[in-house]
Amino acid sequence: MARKRISGKRVQALDPKYQNKNVQSLVNHVLKTGKKQLAYRLVYKSLELAQMQTDQDALEILEEAINQTTPSTVVKARRIRGSAQQVPRDIKPETGRALAIRWLVASARARNNLGMANKLANELVDASRGQGGAVRKRQETHRMAESNRQSAG
């Protein structure tokens, strides 16, 4: 048995402008090659663009987009009787939130608009309305979990 003290969870810093951990997490996922100032600029610009498009508060749009894309279950590969099967697993809310932010950024990068700020703004607006690539990814994940739950149980 390990004798070492188990380390606690790290406290994530809040972003300077909105004092919000979801914005900070989004910045950290947009970040490439250590250019955090650029990531802050992109995220803040995209939040402003999303706010102008919808006439809603930027943080409300972000929260709604994250809520719409957060999965409750995922499928994990497990070896059962020599073959790998996809087994559905419930996940913690923090893990779901991290997945949602990752999917939002990936879907934004896959878009064909001009500029990352525009792409991210459009993805956030679409996700807050229940559309877009990240929401499709969540629905696909839930579908996979449901179909594998049927075959397993």
Q: Tell me the pLDDT tens digit for each residue of 62-112.
A: 999 999 999 999 999 888 888 888 899 999 999 999 999 999 999 999 999
Domain that holds residue 57: 21-152
Q: Is residue 97 part of a domain?
A: yes
Q: Is residue 26 part of a domain?
A: yes
Is the confidence at residue 2, as pLDDT, over 80? no
Quote the pLDDT of residue 121. Answer: 97
Give me the residue label for tokens 């809310």: 93
Q: Is residue 53 part of a domain?
A: yes
Confidence class for position 153, pLDDT limits 50, 70, 90: low
d(CA 129, CA 53): 12
CATH of the domain at 130: 1.10.455.10
Overall domain count for the chain: 1
Determine the distance from the C-alpha atom of residue 14 to the mean position of all C-alpha atoms in its chain, rounded to a whole number. 17
Confidence class for position 12, pLDDT limits 50, 70, 90: confident
The pTM assigned to this predicted structure is 0.90
Phi first, then psi: what are they for 79, rounded to 5°?
A: -85, 115
Q: Is residue 11 part of a domain?
A: no
Mean pLDDT over the full length of the chain: 93
Report, in angstroms and rounded to the nearest whole number, the Rg of the chain calculated over CA atoms: 18
